[in-house]
Chains A and B, each alone.
Chain A
């Protein structure tokens, strides 16, 4: 059984989910407010945290912000459908993926598995050679990145995204492939989370010296990681 924490103020939903996830080999623990959830998340080792953005008292985004200061536990956000801002903010604050509420529990399980698969393959077993490319150093062992000698703090999804880019510099990678690589799941219709992750990654790395962007969007195709002086 994999233990997962759910922070959601809807106690009835928590009970139903607990029952459902039980049958999918997840052990669900629940907290019903922000501070309590944060405390639980920091005190125990959960494989993942499912966090509702709409919480009474302390907002889910605040919980995420404080959680990220001390813990790298994978976070799956539950957002209100139509609230794009929550989603973007959440991903920027370091959530690994999001699911608009109401969601299908099958989808929830799929996303959870994707996150867990990704974080487990990132362990030492999957470690490989560090990558050095145009000022960026990426160390798969320690999952650390430096840009021009300065350490860059990336979320799990952003790290995997950069890893895919650095292994294929100058090549156009489709949004579907990037979603698969960074989020460990296939892309769904109207799904823009990959764009948010790319945008965050681009901002964290910054442009090359001559104001040239590192990552360029190719309309209708995907994204490409450019080397200095290279044109898409």
Chain B
């Protein structure tokens, strides 16, 4: 589990809040208890009231008899739970029936002639004393009353236990809240990796809260995206087929015409052939660009040995450059491995080098190098051509952007190569930029290196093929 995960955040926040609340409550109770200025005096005040009460009650009994005493007691002490027993000087009860506990207290008072006050474990107070009535008769007064309840907070083990319980509840709560997020994340991840069938609904179970709603909304979105991508792919395939079928027929018809033509006609046929090849190249590049921009093209997580890709592009480009009296030269090829599609990377780099071949002056060489800087692979392609006006440098990666109308036309480019390179490199998380150097254009491509350690022995099976 990651350190900053939502789960841990929820879990610890709730737990801390609950623990703080438990602590604060206990602290409040405890402080109210200890802040009582003089508990002894309070008990003294209770004793004083009981003394007065005992004396007046005994006086009532002595002068007016047991019935009046009964009335007096009932009138004044109506709350339940307060029992008053009266004994004569010999410890014999005057108010039967009498609980045995009161008897033993009375007996004790008779023997000691002291007043007794103790608190039982259940929070009851037993209080008694000998009382001498104004007539001189001796009574023993015993009362049992409920102590006013004071909650003095939990003991330390109770605090520990409740914090632990709060922890368990927080844990379950965090789990309940984050588990659908985790499921959602794994589904989104799989969708992003190209599994267009990934849906959240089967994993939701019977949930019907906001998170479940979010999951269902994601499913709707996924449905739409999958439909869009598949229709886009179908459209691209259809366009590709529909545009190329007439071109295929055209080339065959052209060759048939060529067989029956001699002399002047062939020049026109050559022209037709060249133009149809241009349309064909344009269709191919346009489709490649659309595929890259529509998201229909995905970067597979393959390991690509970049120096092999660059070397092969150079070999192939030389094949093309030689007849034009130009050359493509590798200055330095550092070993480096990146993640992505060797096919796309090849086409990206190839487009940059082909562009350079187009513009470099006859008899010059295009210099290509592959180096690494920190965790980035850097490919540079330098030509010895006219360069690009500084104000137009940032536009050359835009589709159909032309630097100097006439020159581009005569060079046979359609103005999409660098756009394709740009989109391809960006799809791999890299960047591409152009700058003018002394007598030429320098294009720098940067691609993040693979995080995987480079295998000691080269893996020949991984060698890119097409």
Say whether B241 contacts A80, CB under 8 Å.
Answer: yes
Say whether B248 contacts A195, CB under 8 Å.
Answer: no
For A187, give the chain B residue with the smallest CB separation: B319
**Which chain A residues lie closer than 8 Å to B308 at the CB level?**
217, 219
**Which chain B residues lie closer than 8 Å to A87 at the CB level?**
466
How far apart sit A120 and B9, CA to CA, in the bound complex (Å)? 75
**Which chain B residues lie closer than 8 Å to A151 at the CB level?**
none
CB distance from A198 to the nearest CB of B (A): 8
**Which chain A residues lie closer than 8 Å to B287 at the CB level?**
82
Residue B256 at the A interface, CB < 8 A?
A: yes
How far apart sit A202 and B465, CA to CA, in the bound complex (Å)? 13
Interface centre among B247, B280, B465, B466 (most CB of A within 10 A): B465
Interface residues on B, range: 35 or more
A-facing residues in B172-213 (Cβ within 8 Å): none
Say whether A105 contacts B241, CB under 8 Å.
Answer: no
Interface centre among B308, B350, B466 (most CB of A within 10 A): B466
CB distance from A17 to the nearest CB of B (A): 6
**Which chain A residues lie closer than 8 Å to B350 at the CB level?**
190
For B281, give the chain A residue with the smallest CB separation: A81
Chain B at the A interface: mostly helix, strand, loop or mixed?
helix
Among A17, A81, A195, contact of B465 (Cβ-Cβ < 8 Å): A195
CB distance from B61 to the nearest CB of A (A): 112
16 contacts between A and B (CB under 8 A): A16-B256, A20-B255, A81-B284, A84-B343, A87-B466, A88-B466, A102-B250, A103-B251, A187-B319, A189-B316, A196-B465, A199-B463, A216-B460, A217-B308, A219-B308, A220-B315
How far apart sit A19 and B460, CA to CA, in the bound complex (Å)? 45
CB distance from B422 to the nearest CB of A (A): 18
For B344, give the chain A residue with the smallest CB separation: A84
9 new A-B contacts at CB < 8 Å, known A54-B237, A84-B343, A199-B465: A10-B245, A81-B280, A81-B284, A102-B247, A105-B251, A189-B320, A192-B466, A220-B315, A220-B330
Contact with A along B251-274 (1 / 0, CB 8 A): 111011001000000000000000
How far apart sit A202 and B463, CA to CA, in the bound complex (Å)? 12
**Which chain B residues lie closer than 8 Å to A102 at the CB level?**
244, 247-248, 250-251, 280
Residue B101 at the A interface, CB < 8 A?
A: no
**Which chain B residues lie closer than 8 Å to A105 at the CB level?**
251-252, 255
Known A-B contacts A54-B241, A189-B319; A217 and B460 likewise in contact (beta carbons under 8 Å)? yes
Interface centre among B250, B259, B463 (most CB of A within 10 A): B463
Known A-B contacts A23-B259, A102-B251, A196-B466; A81 and B244 likewise in contact (beta carbons under 8 Å)? yes
**Which chain A residues lie closer than 8 Å to B288 at the CB level?**
82
**Which chain A residues lie closer than 8 Å to B255 at the CB level?**
20, 104-106
Interface residues on A, range: 35 or more
A-facing residues in B347-371 (Cβ within 8 Å): 350
CB distance from B258 to the nearest CB of A (A): 9
Among B240, B241, B256, B311, contact of A220 (Cβ-Cβ < 8 Å): B311
How far apart sit A12 and B350, CA to CA, in the bound complex (Å)? 35
Known A-B contacts A87-B466, A101-B248; A16 and B241 likewise in contact (beta carbons under 8 Å)? no
How far apart sit A106 and B251, CA to CA, in the bound complex (Å)? 10
How far apart sit A177 and B464, CA to CA, in the bound complex (Å)? 20
How far apart sit A106 and B343, CA to CA, in the bound complex (Å)? 28
Say whether B461 contacts A202, CB under 8 Å.
Answer: yes
**Which chain A residues lie closer than 8 Å to B466 at the CB level?**
84, 87-88, 192, 195-196
How far apart sit A203 and B251, CA to CA, in the bound complex (Å)? 38
Nearest 4 pairs of A and B residues by beta carbon: A192-B466, A102-B248, A195-B465, A16-B252
CB distance from B42 to the nearest CB of A (A): 91
Contact with A along B197-234 (1 / 0, CB 8 A): 00000000000000000000000000000000000000
**Which chain B residues lie closer than 8 Å to A190 at the CB level?**
316, 350
Say whether A20 contacts B244, CB under 8 Å.
Answer: no
CB distance from A91 to the nearest CB of B (A): 9
Residue A13 at the B interface, CB < 8 A?
A: yes
How far apart sit A200 and B250, CA to CA, in the bound complex (Å)? 35
Residue B446 at the A interface, CB < 8 A?
A: no
CB distance from A122 to the nearest CB of B (A): 25
**Which chain B residues lie closer than 8 Å to A84 at the CB level?**
343, 466
Known A-B contacts A80-B240, A102-B248, A189-B320; A202 and B253 likewise in contact (beta carbons under 8 Å)? no
For A88, give the chain B residue with the smallest CB separation: B465
CB distance from B305 to the nearest CB of A (A): 10
Say whether A202 contacts B460, CB under 8 Å.
Answer: yes
Residue B307 at the A interface, CB < 8 A?
A: yes
Residue A62 at the B interface, CB < 8 A?
A: no
For A16, give the chain B residue with the smallest CB separation: B252
B-facing residues in A43-90 (Cβ within 8 Å): 54, 80-82, 84, 87-88
A-facing residues in B269-293 (Cβ within 8 Å): 280, 284, 287-288
**Which chain B residues lie closer than 8 Å to A213 at the CB level?**
460-461
